[in-house]
């Protein structure tokens, strides 16, 4: 597992497995946010399987499948609302963590300075400089 903190309350990761969920809970996360469409993963990593594993560990689980071509305002809103409503840190995952970083960044537009958003993502290993015009 490769968890990368963007803020104290939000981290991203490449694909996780049901066997990772206990460690995610032990790391202090309260919500897992799936940004990966089921069409990209085998059945054992589907959102339904991940939800079962998360809920068995007492974690909230939110599905917000994001594709680069289909990223829209509703996805950005759901990501931001999930983070806002969480009472413990949120771990979002996709294939590499990039989509989870992008949708988070877009949800932070107007809340944080664009340079801060880009810098926080960069510290986690994600280059979002190309998004800067959309962030401010």
Residue range(s) defining the domain that contains residue 104 = 4-135
Taking residue 98's Cβ as centre, other Cβ atoms within 10 Å add up to 19
Give me the pLDDT at residue 67, please.
Answer: 85
**What is the spatial distance between Cα 130 and Cα 128, in angstroms, rounded to a whole number?**
5
Give me the pLDDT at residue 33, please.
Answer: 98
Q: Is the pTM of this model over 0.75?
A: yes
Total number of domains constituting the chain: 1
pLDDT tens string, the chain, 136 residues long: the values are 899 999 999 999 999 999 999 999 999 999 999 999 999 999 999 999 999 999 999 999 999 999 878 899 999 999 999 999 999 999 999 999 999 999 999 999 999 999 999 999 999 999 999 999 999 8
The CATH number for 30's domain is 3.90.190.10
């Amino acid at each position: 597992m490769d968890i990368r903190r963007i803020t104290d309350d939000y981290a991203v990761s490449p694909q996780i497995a049901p066997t990772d969920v206990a460690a995610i809970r032990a790391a202090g996360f309260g919500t897992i946010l799936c940004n990966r469409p089921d069409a990209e993963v085998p059945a054992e990593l589907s959102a339904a399987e991940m939800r079962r594993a998360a809920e068995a560990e007492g974690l909230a689980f939110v599905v917000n499948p994001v594709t680069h071509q289909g990223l829209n305002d509703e996805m950005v809103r759901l990501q931001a609302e999930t983070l806002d409503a969480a009472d413990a840190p949120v771990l979002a995952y996709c294939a590499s963590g990039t989509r989870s970083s992008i949708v988070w960044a877009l949800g932070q537009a107007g809340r944080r300075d664009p340079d801060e958003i880009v810098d926080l993502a960069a510290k986690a290993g994600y280059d979002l400089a190309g998004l800067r015009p959309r962030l401010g």
